[in-house]
Structure 1
Protein backbone atom coordinates (compact mmCIF):
# COMPACT_ATOMS: atom_id res chain seq x y z
CA UNK A 1 0.00 0.00 0.00
CA UNK A 2 2.75 2.46 0.95
CA UNK A 3 4.78 1.54 -2.12
CA UNK A 4 1.77 2.13 -4.37
CA UNK A 5 1.00 5.47 -2.72
CA UNK A 6 4.59 6.64 -3.12
CA UNK A 7 4.61 5.58 -6.77
CA UNK A 8 1.43 7.57 -7.41
CA UNK A 9 2.95 10.80 -6.09
CA UNK A 10 6.43 10.17 -7.51
CA UNK A 11 8.15 9.83 -4.14
CA UNK A 12 10.71 7.18 -3.17
CA UNK A 13 9.87 4.81 -0.32
CA UNK A 14 12.57 3.90 2.21
CA UNK A 15 12.19 0.44 3.77
CA UNK A 16 14.47 -0.34 6.70
CA UNK A 17 15.54 -3.96 6.75
CA UNK A 18 17.89 -5.97 8.92
CA UNK A 19 20.96 -8.18 9.07
CA UNK A 20 18.54 -10.96 10.10
CA UNK A 21 17.92 -11.63 6.38
CA UNK A 22 21.41 -13.21 6.33
CA UNK A 23 22.37 -16.76 7.32
CA UNK A 24 25.52 -15.81 9.26
CA UNK A 25 27.80 -18.29 7.48
CA UNK A 26 30.08 -15.73 5.81
CA UNK A 27 33.67 -15.08 6.87
CA UNK A 28 33.71 -11.52 5.51
CA UNK A 29 31.33 -8.52 5.62
CA UNK A 30 28.17 -9.13 3.63
CA UNK A 31 27.61 -7.24 0.37
CA UNK A 32 24.15 -6.49 -0.98
CA UNK A 33 24.40 -9.15 -3.68
CA UNK A 34 25.47 -11.94 -1.31
CA UNK A 35 23.01 -14.78 -0.86
CA UNK A 36 20.33 -14.24 1.78
CA UNK A 37 19.11 -16.94 4.15
CA UNK A 38 16.93 -15.74 7.02
CA UNK A 39 16.92 -18.10 9.99
CA UNK A 40 13.55 -17.07 11.40
CA UNK A 41 10.19 -15.49 10.70
CA UNK A 42 11.36 -11.93 11.44
CA UNK A 43 14.18 -12.07 8.90
CA UNK A 44 11.95 -13.76 6.33
CA UNK A 45 9.28 -11.07 6.71
CA UNK A 46 11.85 -8.28 6.31
CA UNK A 47 13.28 -9.95 3.20
CA UNK A 48 9.77 -10.17 1.76
CA UNK A 49 9.36 -6.46 2.45
CA UNK A 50 12.61 -5.71 0.62
CA UNK A 51 11.44 -7.59 -2.46
CA UNK A 52 8.03 -5.90 -2.54
CA UNK A 53 9.44 -2.40 -2.08
CA UNK A 54 12.20 -2.77 -4.66
CA UNK A 55 9.86 -4.35 -7.21
CA UNK A 56 7.38 -1.48 -6.85
CA UNK A 57 9.75 1.21 -8.15
CA UNK A 58 13.44 1.56 -9.09
CA UNK A 59 13.48 4.77 -7.02
CA UNK A 60 12.65 2.95 -3.77
CA UNK A 61 15.28 2.09 -1.18
CA UNK A 62 15.70 -0.99 1.00
CA UNK A 63 18.36 -0.25 3.62
CA UNK A 64 19.71 -3.01 5.85
CA UNK A 65 20.90 -1.91 9.27
CA UNK A 66 22.41 -3.79 12.20
CA UNK A 67 22.50 -3.60 16.04
CA UNK A 68 20.99 -0.17 16.52
CA UNK A 69 21.74 1.98 19.54
CA UNK A 70 20.95 5.62 20.22
CA UNK A 71 18.72 8.07 22.06
CA UNK A 72 15.44 6.60 23.29
CA UNK A 73 12.03 8.22 23.14
CA UNK A 74 11.64 9.45 26.70
CA UNK A 75 12.71 9.09 30.33
CA UNK A 76 10.21 6.30 31.03
CA UNK A 77 11.10 4.16 28.02
CA UNK A 78 12.76 0.87 28.96
CA UNK A 79 16.30 0.27 27.64
CA UNK A 80 15.63 -3.35 26.66
CA UNK A 81 16.09 -2.66 22.94
CA UNK A 82 19.18 -0.50 23.46
CA UNK A 83 22.17 -2.75 24.17
CA UNK A 84 24.50 -0.18 25.80
CA UNK A 85 21.82 1.08 28.19
CA UNK A 86 20.63 -2.44 28.95
CA UNK A 87 24.16 -3.58 29.80
CA UNK A 88 24.69 -0.62 32.14
CA UNK A 89 21.34 -1.24 33.84
CA UNK A 90 22.12 -4.93 34.41
CA UNK A 91 25.66 -4.17 35.57
CA UNK A 92 24.41 -1.79 38.24
CA UNK A 93 21.65 -4.14 39.35
CA UNK A 94 23.57 -7.44 39.31
CA UNK A 95 27.30 -6.80 39.00
CA UNK A 96 27.54 -9.69 36.52
CA UNK A 97 26.07 -10.28 33.06
CA UNK A 98 25.86 -13.27 30.72
CA UNK A 99 26.62 -12.23 27.14
CA UNK A 100 27.05 -14.30 23.99
CA UNK A 101 30.54 -14.19 22.51
CA UNK A 102 29.94 -15.97 19.20
CA UNK A 103 27.69 -13.39 17.49
CA UNK A 104 29.65 -10.76 15.56
CA UNK A 105 28.22 -7.70 13.84
CA UNK A 106 28.34 -3.93 13.36
CA UNK A 107 26.86 -1.71 16.11
CA UNK A 108 25.16 1.28 14.50
CA UNK A 109 24.39 4.67 16.07
CA UNK A 110 20.96 5.88 14.99
CA UNK A 111 21.88 9.61 14.60
CA UNK A 112 24.76 8.58 12.32
CA UNK A 113 22.46 6.31 10.33
CA UNK A 114 19.91 9.10 9.92
CA UNK A 115 22.56 11.40 8.45
CA UNK A 116 23.85 8.61 6.22
CA UNK A 117 20.38 7.76 4.92
CA UNK A 118 19.65 11.41 4.17
CA UNK A 119 22.89 11.73 2.21
CA UNK A 120 22.23 8.47 0.38
CA UNK A 121 18.80 9.73 -0.68
CA UNK A 122 20.44 12.77 -2.27
CA UNK A 123 23.12 10.81 -4.14
CA UNK A 124 21.67 7.42 -5.10
CA UNK A 125 18.71 6.68 -7.34
CA UNK A 126 17.31 3.79 -5.32
CA UNK A 127 18.05 0.14 -4.67
CA UNK A 128 19.31 -2.11 -1.89
CA UNK A 129 22.01 -0.74 0.42
CA UNK A 130 23.82 -1.78 3.59
CA UNK A 131 24.43 0.93 6.15
CA UNK A 132 26.22 0.70 9.49
CA UNK A 133 28.99 2.31 11.47
CA UNK A 134 32.46 0.99 10.70
CA UNK A 135 33.95 -1.90 12.66
CA UNK A 136 32.69 -5.21 13.99
CA UNK A 137 32.57 -6.79 17.44
CA UNK A 138 31.07 -9.69 19.37
CA UNK A 139 28.35 -8.91 21.89
CA UNK A 140 30.62 -9.90 24.79
CA UNK A 141 33.48 -7.65 23.66
CA UNK A 142 30.97 -4.89 22.96
CA UNK A 143 29.68 -5.17 26.53
CA UNK A 144 33.23 -4.86 27.85
CA UNK A 145 33.80 -1.74 25.76
CA UNK A 146 30.58 -0.25 27.15
CA UNK A 147 31.71 -0.87 30.73
CA UNK A 148 35.18 0.52 30.02
CA UNK A 149 33.83 3.74 28.50
CA UNK A 150 31.26 4.19 31.28
CA UNK A 151 33.78 3.37 34.03
CA UNK A 152 31.58 0.57 35.37
CA UNK A 153 32.96 -2.57 37.00
CA UNK A 154 31.05 -5.67 35.92
CA UNK A 155 31.94 -9.32 35.47
CA UNK A 156 31.08 -10.77 32.05
CA UNK A 157 30.25 -14.46 31.72
CA UNK A 158 30.91 -15.29 28.08
CA UNK A 159 28.49 -17.88 26.72
CA UNK A 160 27.53 -19.38 23.38
CA UNK A 161 24.38 -18.56 21.48
CA UNK A 162 23.20 -22.12 22.10
CA UNK A 163 23.71 -21.72 25.85
CA UNK A 164 21.82 -18.41 25.87
CA UNK A 165 18.77 -20.07 24.36
CA UNK A 166 17.13 -17.12 22.63
CA UNK A 167 13.65 -18.01 21.29
CA UNK A 168 14.41 -16.59 17.83
CA UNK A 169 17.49 -17.73 15.83
CA UNK A 170 20.08 -15.10 14.94
CA UNK A 171 22.95 -15.11 12.42
CA UNK A 172 26.31 -15.67 14.13
CA UNK A 173 28.12 -13.33 11.74
CA UNK A 174 26.28 -10.39 10.20
CA UNK A 175 28.76 -7.56 9.62
CA UNK A 176 27.55 -5.38 6.75
CA UNK A 177 29.81 -4.02 4.02
CA UNK A 178 29.15 -0.34 3.30
CA UNK A 179 31.14 -0.34 0.05
CA UNK A 180 28.12 0.15 -2.22
CA UNK A 181 26.90 3.18 -0.25
CA UNK A 182 30.41 4.66 -0.33
CA UNK A 183 30.59 4.12 -4.09
CA UNK A 184 27.28 5.97 -4.44
CA UNK A 185 28.85 9.00 -2.78
CA UNK A 186 27.83 8.61 0.87
CA UNK A 187 30.42 9.82 3.37
CA UNK A 188 31.65 6.81 5.40
CA UNK A 189 30.18 6.65 8.88
CA UNK A 190 32.64 6.83 11.77
CA UNK A 191 33.79 3.79 13.74
CA UNK A 192 31.16 2.52 16.14
CA UNK A 193 33.52 3.01 19.13
CA UNK A 194 33.67 6.76 18.53
CA UNK A 195 29.88 6.90 18.33
CA UNK A 196 29.59 4.75 21.47
CA UNK A 197 31.73 7.19 23.46
CA UNK A 198 29.56 10.11 22.34
CA UNK A 199 26.37 8.25 23.20
CA UNK A 200 27.46 7.13 26.66
CA UNK A 201 28.85 10.55 27.55
CA UNK A 202 25.45 12.04 26.70
CA UNK A 203 23.81 9.62 29.16
CA UNK A 204 26.06 10.23 32.17
Structure 2
Protein backbone atom coordinates (compact mmCIF):
# COMPACT_ATOMS: atom_id res chain seq x y z
CA UNK A 1 0.00 0.00 0.00
CA UNK A 2 1.36 3.40 -1.10
CA UNK A 3 1.18 5.86 1.79
CA UNK A 4 3.48 8.51 0.22
CA UNK A 5 2.18 12.09 0.45
CA UNK A 6 0.82 13.84 -2.70
CA UNK A 7 3.74 16.21 -2.68
CA UNK A 8 5.84 13.34 -3.90
CA UNK A 9 3.94 13.25 -7.26
CA UNK A 10 5.58 15.07 -10.24
CA UNK A 11 4.25 18.46 -11.32
CA UNK A 12 2.09 17.99 -14.53
CA UNK A 13 3.58 21.14 -16.03
CA UNK A 14 6.99 19.54 -15.81
CA UNK A 15 5.92 16.28 -17.52
CA UNK A 16 7.28 16.22 -21.10
CA UNK A 17 4.61 16.12 -23.92
CA UNK A 18 5.25 14.56 -27.29
CA UNK A 19 5.00 16.74 -30.46
CA UNK A 20 2.00 14.74 -31.74
CA UNK A 21 0.01 15.50 -28.59
CA UNK A 22 0.89 19.19 -28.87
CA UNK A 23 -0.29 19.22 -32.51
CA UNK A 24 -3.63 17.64 -31.61
CA UNK A 25 -4.18 20.02 -28.74
CA UNK A 26 -3.46 23.01 -30.98
CA UNK A 27 -5.95 21.73 -33.59
CA UNK A 28 -8.63 21.25 -30.94
CA UNK A 29 -8.09 24.75 -29.59
CA UNK A 30 -8.36 26.18 -33.16
CA UNK A 31 -11.67 24.38 -33.72
CA UNK A 32 -13.04 25.71 -30.44
CA UNK A 33 -12.04 29.25 -31.34
CA UNK A 34 -13.70 28.93 -34.79
CA UNK A 35 -16.89 27.60 -33.18
CA UNK A 36 -16.94 30.48 -30.71
CA UNK A 37 -16.55 32.96 -33.60
CA UNK A 38 -19.50 31.43 -35.47
CA UNK A 39 -21.66 31.51 -32.35
CA UNK A 40 -20.82 35.18 -31.95
CA UNK A 41 -21.83 35.87 -35.57
CA UNK A 42 -25.19 34.11 -35.15
CA UNK A 43 -25.86 35.99 -31.93
CA UNK A 44 -25.15 39.28 -33.74
CA UNK A 45 -27.54 38.37 -36.56
CA UNK A 46 -30.31 37.40 -34.14
CA UNK A 47 -29.89 40.68 -32.30
CA UNK A 48 -30.13 42.62 -35.59
CA UNK A 49 -33.32 40.77 -36.59
CA UNK A 50 -34.89 41.46 -33.21
CA UNK A 51 -34.03 45.15 -33.52
CA UNK A 52 -35.32 45.46 -37.16
CA UNK A 53 -37.71 42.60 -38.06
CA UNK A 54 -38.47 41.95 -41.78
CA UNK A 55 -41.76 43.29 -43.20
CA UNK A 56 -44.73 41.00 -43.06
CA UNK A 57 -45.61 39.26 -46.37
CA UNK A 58 -48.21 41.04 -48.48
CA UNK A 59 -51.62 39.51 -48.61
CA UNK A 60 -52.66 38.02 -51.95
CA UNK A 61 -55.13 40.20 -53.87
CA UNK A 62 -58.65 38.93 -53.81
CA UNK A 63 -60.11 37.82 -57.12
CA UNK A 64 -62.65 40.14 -58.71
CA UNK A 65 -66.16 38.68 -58.64
CA UNK A 66 -67.38 37.47 -62.00
CA UNK A 67 -70.47 39.65 -61.91
CA UNK A 68 -68.50 42.82 -61.23
CA UNK A 69 -66.06 42.02 -64.00
CA UNK A 70 -68.86 41.44 -66.52
CA UNK A 71 -70.49 44.72 -65.52
CA UNK A 72 -67.22 46.60 -65.95
CA UNK A 73 -66.66 45.07 -69.41
CA UNK A 74 -70.21 45.95 -70.44
CA UNK A 75 -69.68 49.57 -69.38
CA UNK A 76 -66.48 49.75 -71.39
CA UNK A 77 -68.23 48.31 -74.46
CA UNK A 78 -71.03 50.85 -74.14
CA UNK A 79 -68.54 53.73 -73.96
CA UNK A 80 -66.71 52.42 -77.03
CA UNK A 81 -69.94 52.09 -79.01
CA UNK A 82 -70.97 55.64 -78.10
CA UNK A 83 -67.67 57.13 -79.29
CA UNK A 84 -67.69 57.81 -83.07
CA UNK A 85 -64.66 56.56 -85.00
CA UNK A 86 -62.17 59.19 -86.17
CA UNK A 87 -62.50 60.40 -89.72
CA UNK A 88 -60.15 58.70 -92.16
CA UNK A 89 -57.78 60.94 -94.02
CA UNK A 90 -55.82 59.89 -97.07
CA UNK A 91 -52.25 61.12 -97.48
CA UNK A 92 -52.56 61.09 -101.24
CA UNK A 93 -55.39 60.53 -103.71
CA UNK A 94 -55.83 57.03 -104.98
CA UNK A 95 -54.92 56.25 -108.54
CA UNK A 96 -57.91 55.59 -110.79
CA UNK A 97 -58.75 51.97 -111.40
CA UNK A 98 -57.76 50.60 -114.80
CA UNK A 99 -60.41 49.84 -117.35
CA UNK A 100 -62.42 46.70 -116.82
CA UNK A 101 -60.94 45.09 -119.90
CA UNK A 102 -57.47 45.07 -118.29
CA UNK A 103 -58.61 42.47 -115.76
CA UNK A 104 -59.31 40.09 -118.64
CA UNK A 105 -55.98 40.67 -120.36
CA UNK A 106 -54.09 37.61 -119.24
CA UNK A 107 -52.19 34.78 -120.84
CA UNK A 108 -54.02 31.68 -119.69
CA UNK A 109 -52.13 28.75 -121.15
CA UNK A 110 -48.99 28.25 -123.25
CA UNK A 111 -48.26 24.95 -124.97
CA UNK A 112 -46.35 23.08 -127.65
CA UNK A 113 -48.19 20.91 -130.16
CA UNK A 114 -45.90 18.06 -129.02
CA UNK A 115 -43.44 17.62 -126.18
CA UNK A 116 -41.08 15.12 -127.84
CA UNK A 117 -39.99 15.75 -131.44
CA UNK A 118 -37.07 15.26 -133.80
CA UNK A 119 -35.04 18.14 -135.11
CA UNK A 120 -36.54 17.75 -138.62
CA UNK A 121 -40.13 18.04 -137.34
CA UNK A 122 -41.99 21.32 -137.08
CA UNK A 123 -43.86 22.18 -133.92
CA UNK A 124 -46.61 24.67 -133.24
CA UNK A 125 -46.29 27.17 -130.39
CA UNK A 126 -49.57 28.43 -129.00
CA UNK A 127 -50.91 30.53 -126.17
CA UNK A 128 -54.49 31.09 -125.07
CA UNK A 129 -55.34 34.67 -124.25
CA UNK A 130 -58.17 35.53 -121.91
CA UNK A 131 -60.47 36.83 -124.61
CA UNK A 132 -58.65 40.05 -125.43
CA UNK A 133 -57.76 41.13 -128.93
CA UNK A 134 -56.56 44.29 -130.52
CA UNK A 135 -53.28 43.50 -132.20
CA UNK A 136 -51.02 43.50 -129.15
CA UNK A 137 -47.63 41.87 -129.73
CA UNK A 138 -47.20 38.36 -128.34
CA UNK A 139 -43.56 37.24 -128.05
CA UNK A 140 -42.51 33.58 -127.85
CA UNK A 141 -39.01 33.23 -126.38
CA UNK A 142 -37.42 29.76 -126.66
CA UNK A 143 -34.39 28.99 -124.48
CA UNK A 144 -32.10 25.97 -124.19
CA UNK A 145 -31.94 24.83 -120.57
CA UNK A 146 -28.24 24.14 -121.02
CA UNK A 147 -27.64 27.80 -121.97
CA UNK A 148 -30.47 29.90 -120.54
CA UNK A 149 -28.70 33.22 -121.18
CA UNK A 150 -28.96 33.28 -124.98
CA UNK A 151 -32.39 32.52 -126.52
CA UNK A 152 -32.53 29.89 -129.23
CA UNK A 153 -35.31 31.76 -131.02
CA UNK A 154 -37.73 34.62 -130.49
CA UNK A 155 -40.97 34.64 -132.46
CA UNK A 156 -43.55 37.43 -132.54
CA UNK A 157 -47.25 37.34 -133.39
CA UNK A 158 -50.37 39.42 -132.77
CA UNK A 159 -53.21 38.85 -130.32
CA UNK A 160 -55.99 39.28 -132.83
CA UNK A 161 -57.41 35.75 -133.20
CA UNK A 162 -61.20 35.61 -132.64
CA UNK A 163 -60.97 32.46 -130.52
CA UNK A 164 -58.25 33.92 -128.27
CA UNK A 165 -55.53 31.50 -129.44
CA UNK A 166 -52.24 32.79 -130.83
CA UNK A 167 -50.33 30.18 -132.84
CA UNK A 168 -46.88 30.18 -134.45
CA UNK A 169 -45.19 27.40 -136.41
CA UNK A 170 -41.51 26.68 -135.83
CA UNK A 171 -38.88 24.04 -136.61
CA UNK A 172 -36.51 23.53 -133.67
CA UNK A 173 -32.77 23.35 -134.43
CA UNK A 174 -30.88 20.11 -133.95
CA UNK A 175 -28.95 19.53 -130.74
CA UNK A 176 -25.23 20.35 -130.73
CA UNK A 177 -22.85 17.72 -132.07
CA UNK A 178 -21.89 16.59 -128.57
CA UNK A 179 -25.49 16.06 -127.46
CA UNK A 180 -28.21 13.68 -128.56
CA UNK A 181 -31.01 15.77 -127.09
CA UNK A 182 -31.74 19.32 -126.17
CA UNK A 183 -34.38 20.58 -123.80
CA UNK A 184 -36.16 23.81 -124.66
CA UNK A 185 -38.28 26.04 -122.46
CA UNK A 186 -40.80 28.56 -123.75
CA UNK A 187 -41.87 31.85 -122.20
CA UNK A 188 -44.68 33.84 -123.77
CA UNK A 189 -45.06 37.54 -122.99
CA UNK A 190 -47.64 40.14 -123.95
CA UNK A 191 -46.96 43.48 -122.35
CA UNK A 192 -46.47 42.82 -118.65
CA UNK A 193 -48.21 39.44 -118.78
CA UNK A 194 -46.42 36.16 -119.29
CA UNK A 195 -46.99 32.40 -119.39
CA UNK A 196 -44.72 29.37 -119.51
CA UNK A 197 -44.97 26.06 -121.35
CA UNK A 198 -43.62 22.63 -120.34
CA UNK A 199 -40.16 21.61 -121.52
CA UNK A 200 -39.84 20.45 -125.13
CA UNK A 201 -37.42 17.58 -125.87
CA UNK A 202 -35.72 17.73 -129.28
CA UNK A 203 -33.89 14.61 -130.48
CA UNK A 204 -31.06 14.59 -132.99
CA UNK A 205 -31.92 13.20 -136.42
CA UNK A 206 -30.45 9.72 -136.89
CA UNK A 207 -28.28 9.25 -140.00
CA UNK A 208 -28.95 5.51 -140.21
TM-score by length of 2: 0.18
Max radius of gyration: which structure? 2
Name the structure where helix makes up a greater proportion of residues: 1
Name the structure where strand makes up a greater proportion of residues: 2
